[in-house]
Amino acid sequence: MNDDADNIEIYRNILKRYKDRGLVPFVGAGLSVPAGFPSWRAFLDIEKDDPSDPLDVASELSTKRGGEHLFQIDVANAFGGKFLPADWNRRASRVQNEAIGLLPKLFRGVVITTNFDRLLEHLYSGAVVAHPGEYSKLNRAVQMGTSAILKLHGCVLKPDSIILTRESYSQAYPDTDKKTDFIIALEKILTNQTVLFLGCSLKDDHTLKQWAKMLTQPEGEGIEHFAIVNCTKTEMPKKRADLGEMNIFPILYNHIRTDDDDKENHDAVRIILERLYRDTNGGQPLNNLPPKNPYFTGRENQLEGLQKTFDDMHAIRVVSGLGGVGKTQTVLEYAHRHLDGYGDGVWWLNAESELDLMQGCREVLIKVGVLDEVKASDIKPDELLNRWQYWLGEHRKRLLIFDNAESEIVVERYMSKKYCGHVLLTTRDASWGGEPTMGLPLMSESEAVEFLLKRTGRKEQQHTWAGVEDVAKRLGYLPLALEQAAAYMRNVEWSFSGYLDMLSGHGLSTLDKDYAKPDEKYYKKIVTTTWQISFDKIKRENNIVSELFNVFAYVDSNNIPLEVFVEHQELMFFVDLQKIDKLCIVDAVALLLRYSLIEREGKDDYLINIHRLVQEIVRDIHKNYADTSYVTCCFKVLYKAVPKNYDSERGTRPLFERVAKHALAATKYYENTCDNNATQKIVGEAYHFVGLGYIETTQFSTAIDVYNSAATVFEKVWGKEQPETASIYGNIAYTYEQQGKFDEALKWYMKALSIKEWMLGKKHQSTAITYNNIANVYQHQGNYSMATEWYEKALAAKEEAFGKEHPNTAITYNNIAITHSIQGDYDKALEWYDKALTILKRKPGKEHTETANTYTNIALVYSEQGRYVEALELCDKALTICESVLGKEHPNTAIKYGSIAYVYKQQGRFDEALKWYSKALTIFEKTLGKEHPETAATYCGIANLYEQQGKYFDAVGVYEEVKAIYEKVFGEKHQLTVSVQVHIARVIDKVRSC
Strand-by-strand arrangement of the 346-350 sheet: 346-350, 399-403, 422-427, 315-320, 437-439
The predicted structure's pLDDT at residue 260: 45
Q: For residue 713, how many C-alpha atoms fall within 13 Å in the half-sphere facing its CB?
A: 28
Q: For 522-561, what is each residue's pLDDT tens digit?
A: 565 667 777 888 888 889 988 889 999 999 999 999 999 9
Q: 38 versus 411: which is more confidently predicted?
A: 411
Nearest of 798, 744, 727 to residue 769 by alpha carbon: 798
Return the pLDDT at 720.
Answer: 94
What is the residue-wise DSSP string for 309-345?
A: HTTSSSEEEEEE-STTSSHHHHHHHHHHHTGGG-TT-
Reference 553, options 509, 585, 597; nearest CA is: 597
Burial status of residue 179 (CB atoms within 10 A of its CB: 0-12, 13-18, 19 or more): exposed
Dist CA 248 CA 225 (whole Å): 4
Sheet holding 23-27, edge to edge: 128-130, 148-151, 110-113, 23-27, 194-198, 225-230, 248-253
Q: What is the DSSP string of 475-509?
A: TTT-HHHHHHHHHHHHHHT--HHHHHHHHHHHGGG
Q: How many residues does the chain have?
A: 994
Inter-axis angle of helices 612-624 and 629-641, nearest 10: 130
> Where are the extended beta strands (E) located within 231-301?
248-253
pLDDT at 262: 43
- Most distant pair of Cα atoms in the chain: their distance: 125
Average pLDDT over residues 569-596: 81
Whether 582 contacts 537, CB under 8 Å: no
Q: In DSSP terms, which residues pair with 349 in a beta bridge? A: 402
pLDDT band at 259 (very low <50, low <70, confident <90, very high): very low
CB atoms near residue 49 (< 10 Å): 5
pLDDT for residue 365 is more than 80: yes
pLDDT at 659: 96
Provide the pLDDT confidence category of residue 669 given band limits of 50, 70 and 90.
Answer: very high
Burial status of residue 561 (CB atoms within 10 A of its CB: 0-12, 13-18, 19 or more): buried
Segment among 175-189, 343-357, 718-732 with least mean pLDDT: 175-189
In this structure, are residues 875 and 896 in contact, taking their beta carbons and an 8 Å threshold? yes
Q: How far apart are CA 282 and CA 274, in angstroms?
A: 9
Find the mean pLDDT for residues 94-120: 87
- pLDDT at position 143 is 58
Cα distance between residue 444 and residue 706, in whole Å? 31
State CA 880 to chain mean position distance. 52
Mean pLDDT of 900-916: 95
Which range (294-303, 600-609, 817-826) has the least confidence?
Answer: 600-609
Task: Please check the confidence at residue 576 and state whether its pLDDT lies above 70.
Answer: no
Listed in sequence order, the DSSP H helices in 571-676 are: 582-594, 612-624, 629-641, 652-671
Say if residue 207's pLDDT is above 50: yes
pLDDT tens figures, 316-356: 889 998 888 999 999 999 999 888 778 788 999 999 889 99
The residue among 899, 898, 985 whose CA lies nearest residue 947 is: 985
- Residue whose C-alpha is closest to residue 292's, from 347, 337, 344: 337
Choose between 692 and 594: higher pLDDT. Answer: 692
The whole-chain average pLDDT of the chain stands at: 86
Q: What pLDDT score was predicted for residue 684?
A: 95
pLDDT tier for residue 447 given thresholds of 50, 70 and 90: very high
Tell me the per-residue pLDDT of 60-96, one tens digit each, with 9 for 90 and over: 887 887 777 888 888 888 888 888 877 878 888 888 8
Q: Please check the confidence at residue 516 and state whether its pLDDT lies above 60.
A: no
Give the whole-angstrom CA distance, residue 179 versus residue 198. Answer: 26
Whether a cis peptide bond, with omega within 30° of 0, leads into 25 is: no
Contact 215/190 with Cβ under 8 angstroms?
Answer: yes
